Structure 1
């Protein structure tokens, strides 16, 4: 019997599994790890840190997809601005507000921004260099890239507009992303999806699976390149140092510290979801993008400098610390002259399909994984001769 095989049990793989199974196609998910979720896993223990995404944006199509299936569960909103402390580092000092030109730029429609120009050049022509550089550095929150100003103006402006929307679009799964992953996995299981963990698939296994039906490779693009033995599967991504900290609570700790002097961002996740750390402690993450070849220690020093400004006495209050480097694992970025349509195609031919956050699908952050998972499932069901229940919604820059 023909069957759809999905390699990878992260957000893209689970989205593809649910979409295909809703069309009554037989589906098997092969996950190399002992748990599902990919980069949407939440760590065990008293500090519930996420390995990858942190926020769902309510304006995205995947929010509707999850809501229709009652998979959203409890979500926390961005705390009210009047009840939190949001700071910006400008000229080496903490300030309450960003430059006014940056705010004016954030209100510009993405349709005004050209695909072929770099963001910094275009934005400088719109509001001047100060506002343009501040906006580029601010976008570390959604791009994880060391030089957002060098990317396509259309690509960055769309994300700037959404990241600064009022009221904020960002929503946080209460208890971490593992809660959402568990709900998606339960939905897949109830639809009859066969889920196999600790099931690593190699090139020889792929050939065997392909004989029984379409295969959706829903892994990191580097892993897909190795599995499919296809050197063309490449696309630009970011390289970011992550510093996770648990601090004893101190009254007045900020919610956000955004570095406008260079790309960098610190967020206190327990401000919106206190369940992520034990009582009396706060969970914080600093993310500092790094240029290729720059040692992680440089980013850690920058993170500590930013912590010194925003969280006085943080060293004496630290109860737990973890550092990591996310290299090429923070989603696709589009350089001038390219859009999401230029990324590796979902349909690779011969019954092989791709899904993930660096392939040819629109969206912001994890939306790319959701959209590509839906599209891959639709195509796989059609290859089996069926009719998919739902086609992906197209959003994003043209």
Structure 2
């Protein structure tokens, strides 16, 4: 049993990304004394933004205003400034279908988005094909690659994919952009946390759980599995090739291309935020899911097909390029027969709580991290109260079992020095 505290409760957060900072702020607002440990020298996790002239996020990033984090950030003055997309740029969106660029999506895709619900126990492709035909099902599945980063979204749970189809095709669009990159949001959250009294230690890798109060583990799932010595902490995710390029500006460049022939996405982030690249250059970020038997070159080839279709003479205009393979770092995907409730539970027992984008919490993309962080902070604060001996009643986001057999196969490399409090981020 974790040591009880008297007076102001003590809560430890391990991991300084979006989820960890959300948890730290929430616990501090609840009256706790909070210490946050981050293994890297900078905060942010997968919400980091690269330094230097090309300010890339780790793959295409957007903040959806239909999620619960939007209001929470706005209420605390942490949301703005945003980088609104100019109306003219919004018209420069294309769909790559049958080898060519189209201004409108396939009609069947739009018909499918009208379905509010889809079955959990069927794969998306077979269910969607039974509703609107195979062509519509394939188009919708490939389009949803924008929010799943997966090579074959059609094989995933119909309920999981349909939720993402409806969210990513809503009008007006839910996607919004943080001016200056996601690091700016992280910086605002960190400063707010410090103002609330949160002690933040970077370069501090934790390899043993502290015993002076509840602990919220806000790391990559593989790092949490090692730290907690719990092999049940696994869940499916995607393998995704990331290609970032900077091009000399050309009038009329497209804003975004969605892959319909295959799952893929390209977005020109300087369309809404000129601060992300030097004057006279455009910053594009591409992502393409790849299958278990494919390699980085396969994904790069498909990404370059989209560039060839939408950005004339891009090779001659190229000023900078970076490639990466993201393994298990793009959030949970749910196979047929599973939902978010089946992922590893937030409540781990003995005062330990797990948060992140692969745990038992609802939402799309970063919303999973946010919702799990709020759940964990609520449970951690509750456990420190005088009535914490009362029987624990699980809430919806702490009900996961985490018995899925797959696992993500990499974590971000870390070169920080171990400290006495040391943990992964």
TM-score normalized by the length of structure 2? 0.88
TM superposition shift of 1:186: 0.7
Q: Where does residue 258 of structure 1 map in the other structure?
A: 258
Contact 1:362-1:394 at 8 Å conserved across structures: no
Q: How does 1:60-71 map to 2 (within 5 A)?
A: 60-71=67-78
2:206 is aligned, of 183, 201, 209, to: 201
Q: Where does residue 279 of structure 1 map in the other structure?
A: 279
Q: How does 1:26-41 map to 2 (within 5 A)?
A: 26-41=33-48
Displacement over 6 Å in runs of 4+:
none
Pick closer, same or farther for the CA change 1:118–1:79 going to 2, 3 Å. Answer: farther
Q: Where does residue 143 of structure 1 map in the other structure?
A: 148
1:6 aligns with 2:13: yes
SS of residue matched to 2:83: strand
Q: Where does residue 291 of structure 1 map in the other structure?
A: 291
Aligned equivalents of 1:272, 1:138: Cα separation in 2 = 22
Aligned equivalents of 1:177, 1:13: Cα separation in 2 = 15
Aligned equivalents of 2:175, 2:386: Cα separation in 1 = 36
93-102 or 180-189, which deviates more: 93-102
Q: How does 1:177-216 map to 2 (within 5 A)?
A: 177-202=182-207, 205-206=208-209, 209=210, 211-216=211-216
1:99 aligns with 2:106: yes
Q: Where does residue 234 of structure 1 map in the other structure?
A: 234
1:116 aligns with 2:121: yes
Q: Where does residue 367 of structure 2 map in the other structure?
A: 367
SS of residue matched to 1:331: coil
TM superposition shift of 1:87: 1.2
SS of residue matched to 2:287: strand
TM superposition shift of 1:377: 0.7
SS of residue matched to 1:332: coil
1:166 aligns with 2:171: yes
Q: Where does residue 344 of structure 2 map in the other structure?
A: 344
Aligned equivalents of 2:46, 2:128: Cα separation in 1 = 33
Q: Alpha-carbon deviations, 1:75-131, whole Å to 9, x = none?
A: 12344267531111111122212211111112221x2x1111111011111111111
Aligned equivalents of 2:214, 2:135: Cα separation in 1 = 51
SS of residue matched to 2:171: coil
Pick closer, same or farther for the CA change 1:100–1:88 going to 2, 3 Å. Answer: same
TM superposition shift of 1:52: 5.1
Aligned equivalents of 2:311, 2:263: Cα separation in 1 = 18
1:73 aligns with 2:80: yes
Pick closer, same or farther for the CA change 1:182–1:394 going to 2, 3 Å. Answer: farther
**Over the residues paired in the alignment, what is the CA RMSD in angstroms?**
1.8
Gaps of 5+ in 2: 388-394, 398-425
Contact 1:23-1:386 at 8 Å conserved across structures: no
Q: Alpha-carbon deviations, 1:282-340, whole Å to 9, x = none?
A: 00011010112311011111111111111110001111111111100000011111111
SS of residue matched to 2:250: coil
Gaps of 5+ in 1: 388-392
Aligned equivalents of 1:125, 1:257: Cα separation in 2 = 28
SS of residue matched to 1:329: coil
2:158 is aligned, of 145, 153, 156, to: 153
Pick closer, same or farther for the CA change 1:94–1:351 going to 2, 3 Å. Answer: same
Aligned equivalents of 2:21, 2:218: Cα separation in 1 = 9
Q: Where does residue 138 of structure 2 map in the other structure?
A: 133
Q: Where does residue 410 of structure 2 map in the other structure?
A: none
Q: Where does residue 94 of structure 2 map in the other structure?
A: 87
1:44 is aligned, of 39, 51, 60, to: 51
Pick closer, same or farther for the CA change 1:306–1:347 going to 2, 3 Å. Answer: same
Aligned equivalents of 1:386, 1:230: Cα separation in 2 = 29
Contact 1:78-1:272 at 8 Å conserved across structures: yes
Aligned equivalents of 2:171, 2:80: Cα separation in 1 = 23
Report the count of equivalent residues: 385
Contact 1:53-1:365 at 8 Å conserved across structures: no
Aligned equivalents of 1:79, 1:136: Cα separation in 2 = 28
TM superposition shift of 1:215: 0.8
Q: Where does residue 220 of structure 1 map in the other structure?
A: 220
Aligned equivalents of 1:82, 1:243: Cα separation in 2 = 21
Q: Where does residue 390 of structure 1 map in the other structure?
A: none
